[in-house]
């Protein structure tokens, strides 16, 4: 598949959605693409706590858009060209998963793609993108299937909040929330998405 075809597909909006129960599984996409590794440190009802060991991300500047879906599409399009060599070193790097959208206030979204281990020491630089190095972090995770839409993700955020109520994670502070997506838009089945609260 050419980059243009994939980009076209990425930019196409799909209305078909399939829903699966996907709780507690490592997403299928992580067999095909490199994903950040983690350990599950706690399994709760409808959530899990993971520890990530300092993953590295390539991130857009905040995209101003009331639509999370539109902001993610815009940001991902830039990140997709980045991995395909549109960076200052003209270096092609491996596609990874997931794409994460960090929402910190109503309509500002930072979109990031995981940087493969092989490139983490020295990721290519690119105008308008920056490298984010997380400290070792805990993440509270809720998985859901189907397509992320502007009308469904807040329900998932609230459900995660609800699942954490009464646990020690409810009183710890975290910044906004993250929507993690593991599949390309043209993959209709077995889609895995996650809401993350990052601690
Ligand atoms: C998961 O735990 C193992 C064993 O304690 C450790 O070696 C590894 O670094 C951990 N991985 C992550 C991503 O934290
Ligand atoms: C969204 O952005 C507009 C214009 O930048 C701003 O006026 C508005 O307050 C923002 N809304 C939220 C919820 O942050």
**Residue 63 CB-half CA count within 13 A:** 26
Residue 109 Cα to ligand 2 midpoint, Å, equals 12
Over the stretch 130-178, which tens digit does the pLDDT of each residue have?
999 999 999 999 999 999 999 999 999 999 999 999 999 998 988 889 9
- Give the pLDDT confidence score for residue 65 in this predicted structure: 92
Among 62, 64, 70, 106, residue to substitute to test ligand 2 (most atoms within 8 Å of Cβ): 106
Residue 135 Cα to ligand 2 midpoint, Å, equals 30
- Give the pLDDT confidence score for residue 174 in this predicted structure: 85
Which carries the bigger pLDDT value, residue 5 or residue 47? 47
Closest C-alpha among 42, 17, 13, 10 to residue 111:
10
Name the superfamily (CATH) of residues 20-198. Answer: Regulatory factor, effector binding domain (3.20.80.10)
Q: Which residues pair with 193 in a beta bridge?
A: 144, 181
pTM of the model: 0.85
Among 34, 53, 138, residue to substitute to test ligand 1 (most atoms within 8 Å of Cβ): 53
Over the stretch 112-121, which tens digit does the pLDDT of each residue have?
999 999 999 9
Q: Which long-range contacts (CB under 8 A, 24 or more apart) does 36-42 make?
A: 36/114, 38/139, 41/138
Which of helix, strand or coil describes residue 89?
Answer: coil
- Give the pLDDT confidence score for residue 4 in this predicted structure: 55
């Amino acid at each position: 598949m050419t980059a243009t075809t994939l980009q076209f597909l990425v930019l196409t909006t799909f209305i078909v959605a399939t829903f699966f129960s996907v709780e507690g599984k490592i997403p299928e996409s992580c067999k095909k693409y490199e994903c950040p590794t983690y350990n599950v440190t706690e399994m709760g009802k409808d959530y899990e706590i993971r520890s990530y060991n300092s993953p590295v991300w390539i991130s857009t500047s905040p995209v101003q858009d009331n639509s999370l879906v539109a902001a993610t599409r815009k940001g991902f399009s830039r990140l997709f060209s980045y991995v395909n060599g549109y960076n200052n070193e003209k270096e092609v790097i491996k596609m990874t998963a997931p794409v994460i959208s960090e929402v910190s206030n109503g309509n500002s979204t930072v979109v990031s793609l995981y940087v493969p281990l092989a490139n983490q020491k020295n990721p290519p630089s690119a105008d308008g993108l920056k490298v984010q190095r997380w400290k070792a972090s805990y993440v509270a995770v809720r998985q859901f299937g189907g397509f992320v839409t502007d009308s469904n993700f807040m329900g998932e955020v609230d459900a995660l909040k609800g699942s954490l109520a009464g646990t020690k994670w409810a009183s710890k502070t975290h910044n906004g929330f993250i929507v993690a997506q593991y599949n390309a838009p043209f993959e209709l089945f077995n889609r895995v998405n996650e809401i993350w609260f990052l601690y």
